[in-house]
Amino acid sequence: MTLPRPAAPASRHAASKAILFTGLWVALVFALLASAGTGQLAIPPSEVLGSLLQPIGIDWFPLPTHPAGDQTLWAIRFPRVVMAALVGAGLAVAGLLMQAVFGNPLAEPGVIGVSSGAAVGAGLSIVFGLTFFGEWTTAVFAFIAGLGATLLVYFMSRADGKTEVVTLVLTGIAVNAIAGAAIALLTFLGDTQSREQIVFWQLGSMAGSRWSQVIIVAPVIALGLLISYMVARKLDLLSLGERNARHLGVNVEVLRIGVIVLVSLLVGAAVAFAGIIAFVGLVIPHLMRMVLGPAHLPLVTASALGGALLLTLADLGARTIVPMADLPIGMLTSLVGGPFFFWLLRRTRKRSGGWG
């Protein structure tokens, strides 16, 4: 009697996972090198590597031949490239967590009001010329307002000690609408320069990224990734349904509030310095799930890599598509994410046989 061999599908899945992770790592490294070397002063990838590795004693690659090459890389290019990768990773993982908590592939971080709240905080700082925290004032106000909006959505949606997902979404829509009205009012009250700053901040950009900003964002993103790995197993159980998750020992309410706060921290840290960047948290987690399946542990890594890759390429495009100009990066991600979201809606409708 010949026994069946069920290992073939598992081995194919493992091979697909290995190919995906290898491809993401290789593509990200090449994207980072290309982005760092591209600009008004073009620097070959080998010289970028030389400038990057020389401080740690590795001299396998030549240093930049242009007199200002090394200074340009370390003062301007490297901080911007690293910030783009960090923000992309943070937004993508935040989107993955939101989709896990809501049990819906159409969920994204903006649902809970963190992005719109951050925009209100930034607008207040810009219009009223607040300087409580020096040059960091706008970023601090954006972070605090984003976190505050998220907590407001959460506590307003609680009833009888529980939080319903539908109520949470509807509350988020209401808070986003109020935040939108507040942003419009601030834009109306501000002078021409303030209006331009608010609009530019809402469109998102990596321009002006500095190491001092990277040092603040990096620990938040790293902590967010670490906690995401720690709760991945519980998110797998939650995907079985709230009742089943509770029977398996998951405190669903504590998990939900913890994940929502974590999402607000990740997105707040990202948008505080980069502005609002849409669709990264929607597109990347869904694409990774289509390849890897529903298990959240590998999805955290894949989403972080995919988000970093997407935003690195988007930032490269923002600097090169129009000569001598720096396009808003949020506009480029929306141009990619908008059609994808439409396709996802169509795909979801076909699978469910309709909308209702």
Nearest to 168 by CA among 253, 276, 76: 253
pLDDT at 61 over 70: yes
CATH classification at residue 242: 1.10.3470.10
Q: Is the dihedral of CA 314, 316, 319, 322 positive or negative?
A: negative
- What average pLDDT does the segment 149-161 reach? 78
176 contacts 302 by C-beta, under 8 angstroms? no
CA–CA dist 41, 306 (Å, integer): 28
pLDDT value at position 354? 45
* Residue 162, helix vs strand vs coil: strand
Dihedral of the alpha carbons of 134, 206, 80, 311, in degrees to the nearest 10: 140
Task: Tell me which of 103 and 205 has the higher pLDDT.
Answer: 205
Q: Is residue 355 part of a domain?
A: no
- What average pLDDT does the segment 173-195 reach? 89
pLDDT value at position 5? 52
CA–CA dist 285, 30 (Å, integer): 22
Q: Is residue 81 part of a domain?
A: yes
Q: Is residue 63 part of a domain?
A: yes
Q: Considering the chain, what is the average pLDDT of its residues?
A: 84
- What average pLDDT does the segment 182-201 reach? 87
pLDDT value at position 1? 45
- What average pLDDT does the segment 7-12 reach? 62
Nearest to 114 by CA among 139, 150, 168, 151: 150
pLDDT at 224 over 80: yes
Percent pLDDT > 90 in the chain is 22
Q: Is residue 11 part of a domain?
A: no
pLDDT value at position 72? 85
CA–CA dist 337, 95 (Å, integer): 13
Dihedral of the alpha carbons of 282, 285, 291, 295, in degrees to the nearest 10: -140
- What average pLDDT does the segment 72-88 reach? 92
pLDDT value at position 24? 93
Q: Is residue 13 part of a domain?
A: no
Q: Is residue 25 part of a domain?
A: no
Task: Tell me which of 168 and 47 has the higher pLDDT.
Answer: 47
DSSP conformation letters of 180-205: HHHHHHHHHHS-HHHHHHHHHHHH--
Q: Is residue 29 part of a domain?
A: no
Q: What is the pTM of this model?
A: 0.87
pLDDT at 302 over 50: yes
What's the domain count of the chain? 1
* Residue 158, helix vs strand vs coil: strand
- What average pLDDT does the segment 213-232 reach? 92
Residue numbers of the domain that contains 134: 41-348
pLDDT 10s digits, 312-344: 999 998 888 888 778 888 888 888 777 877 777
pLDDT value at position 332? 85
pLDDT value at position 356? 40
Task: Tell me which of 338 and 96 has the higher pLDDT.
Answer: 96
Is residue 3 very low, low, confident or very high in pLDDT (cuts 50, 70, 90)? very low
Q: Is residue 171 part of a domain?
A: yes
